[in-house]
Each structure stands twice: as structure tokens, then as C-alpha cells.
Amino acid sequence: MPKFDFDVITMGHGSGGLLTHRLLQSGVFDLLKNNLLDQQHDGAMLELNGPVAFSTDSYVISPIFFPGGNIGELAVNGTVNDLAMCGATAKYLSLGFIIEEGFSMKEFWEVLVGIKEAAEKSGVSIVTGDTKVVEKGKGDKIFINTSGIGQIHPKASIHHNRIEAGDKIILSGNLAQHGIAIMSLRQGLEFETDIVSDTINLNFTILSLVETFGQEIKFLRDPTRGGLASVMNELAELRKLGFVLEQEKIPLDEQVEGACEMLGLDPLYVANEGLFVAVVSANIADDFLQKLRSDPNGINAAIVGEVTAANPGKVLLKSRIGGHRVVGYLTGEQLPRIC
């Protein structure tokens, strides 16, 4: 960590004046260095060919450090993955900080290192950025926005309107890891686990699947906020088809399942990072699964359900016992129960 003038971020660091200049010059630019960022212009001037995907997301997570990662890694991986779900490889990212006055410089640096490492890992360049500081109490340590541009793979054809009855629903790994890792740290939840967030870049995993299976991949989505249930409901509503999940097939870590039981949460609604759901043609489903399982990001992948013409607009869960239940949209926040 380079030496900074201050131990904490002050209002002056967002003023655009000398302190902002020093903050950037004394480390930030060096850390995130690339040709485009080094231009230090008002915006990055880029060259792109062919169809591109463009996505943005804001990261307001608390706590900002959690088992398995920090808000910086999340901010890079999240947008890289959103682009991957379009069948695109992320190339350029913008990076905007809204920092609360008093945020420690040491923690800021750790977040920056998280950003740098995640960007390197996913092969994306941070080409433009912005830093604002808000008064103490007007933020929560640090908020990050990233927007990204990626080149869409020529073989990709990802759109919900391509989903048909008979298609298979594939989940790339264990459900609910990230949400439970975060929750285990929140105030008042004193339970000890070694559950870690699954935040990771998925772009290379997706790229190789798209390369192999092309148009047979109908739809991709990372079930972050709202969890798997929300993604399925959106699709059921848009496509007027039934989405049937099999409880027994859904990969779930034993500790996560236990934590969900204890906290009264349904893992289907818990947030994920580094996880994706794919809807693919039935004829390639097994090959797709086999290939995905040979990738480090897909070792626990499973076919968890299928799309049906029956029950249009509904998401159903077939329980281990054999009964069915409707899986609806989450209403508001998932709130912990009394007993």
C-alpha cells in the first residue's frame, strides 16, 4: 500500500481538486494501469467491432468484506458476469466510487486491490472512472458502480424468446452460497460456518460453452438478487411456459441448507454470485452438463428441471416427497421468522 496523506477519506478527496488528484496519482492509477486509463482523459476512446453487449450494476453490499471476497471483486465480477450472460466477453469497464467521508484509506486500498485482481483474472480493462465523497451518514462506507462493454460471441444467440417446452434447466453449482456467507456476518447472526461467497468471473466458462454449443444455449442468467426463484418466475411470465424444478436435483451445500433452515430462509430466493442458470435444448443437455462439470466453476452443476407447456406462467417445485408447490415471486425482503 502506498503512503497516503490521510488515514481516512475526507470530503476533499471527492472535490476534484488537489486531494482528488493526489489520491489518484499516489496509487490508484498505478494499480489499475492500462493504455486507455493512462490517457487520463474525460472518457475512454475505444475501438469496437461487431455486436456488443453493454451492462451496468451498482454494488451497495454490507459488510464490504466477507468470506470469499470483498465489494471490489464483486463489482468487477458482477458486471463481467452480466455481460457473459449475454454471450459476451467483457472488454472494458468503467468504475465509479461513492465513498462515505471517514472511510479508512487502508480498507479503500484493499477494495482497490480486489478490483485489480478480479479485473486481471477476467481479462477486462478499467478504462474510465469517477470518485465522489458524501458526508458521514449519507452513505455506507463505499458504493461502487461498474458499467461494462463486451464483444458478443458470433455463435451466441441468447434470448428468452428462444426457450421452448422440453428445454432443460441447468444450474452451474451450489445454490445460495453468497447470500448465506454475507448473512452469517450481519449483526446479530452469530453462527459459525465456513461458508464462503462464490463470487468469481464466469466469462471464460461461458465462452467455452458458447463456443461448443452455440445456439443450443437458449438462455443464460446469473441469479443474483432474488435468487433462482425470481429468474424462473420472470421467464415463466415472459414465455407463458411452465418451469418445473426438482428439489432433489438442486445442488445445495449441507451447511448452507442448515443455515437456511435455522434462519427460516428459502435458498431458492437467496442471492448468488458466481453461479448461473442455463436453459438449453434437451438434446445437448447431458453433453453441456458434462463439459460444465469439467470446468472449475461447474463441478457441482446439475440439471435441475425442465420447461413445460403445462402450467404456463408458473414455477413449480417438485418436493422430495413427490408433491408439487408453487414457487412465486419474493414479496419484499426475505425476513427472518420468529420461531
Closest by Cα among 267, 303, 299 to 282:
303
Tell how far CA 294 is from the center of its chain.
21
Cell numbers for 73, please give them: 471483486
Per-residue binding letters, 172-211, with another protein (x by CB under 8 A)? ---------------xxx----------------------
Binders of another protein in range 210-249 (CB under 8 A): none
Closest to 169 in 3D by CA, of 313, 288, 325, 312: 288
Shortest reach from residue 26's CB to another protein, in Å: 36
Decide: is 337 part of the binding site for another protein (CB under 8 A). yes
With binding defined as CB under 8 A, does residue 63 bind another protein? no
1 binds another protein (CB under 8 A): no
Contact 137, 171 (CB under 8 A): no
Q: Tell me if 138 contacts another protein by CB under 8 A.
A: no
Query: Nearer to another protein by C-beta: 131 or 334?
Result: 334
The secondary structure of residue 170, as a DSSP letter, is: E
Residues within window 251-270 making contact with another protein, judged by CB under 8 A: 254, 257-258, 261, 263-264
- Alpha carbons 83 and 87: distance in angstroms, whole number: 7
**Could you tell me the CA-to-CA distances from 121 to 77, 82, 202, 222 in Å, in that order?**
9, 16, 10, 19
Choices 3-11, 115-123, 165-173, 327-335 (CB under 8 A): range interacting with another protein: 327-335
Grid cell listed for 75: 463489482
Distance CA 133, CA 103 (A): 10
Which position among 115, 152, 209, 316 is part of the footprint of another protein (CB under 8 A)? 316
Under the binding rule (CB under 8 A), the answer on residue 137 touching another protein is: no
Interaction of residue 311 with another protein, rule CB under 8 A: yes
Enumerate binding residues for another protein (CB under 8 A). 187-189, 254, 257-258, 261, 263-264, 310-311, 314, 316, 319-326, 328, 331-332, 335-339
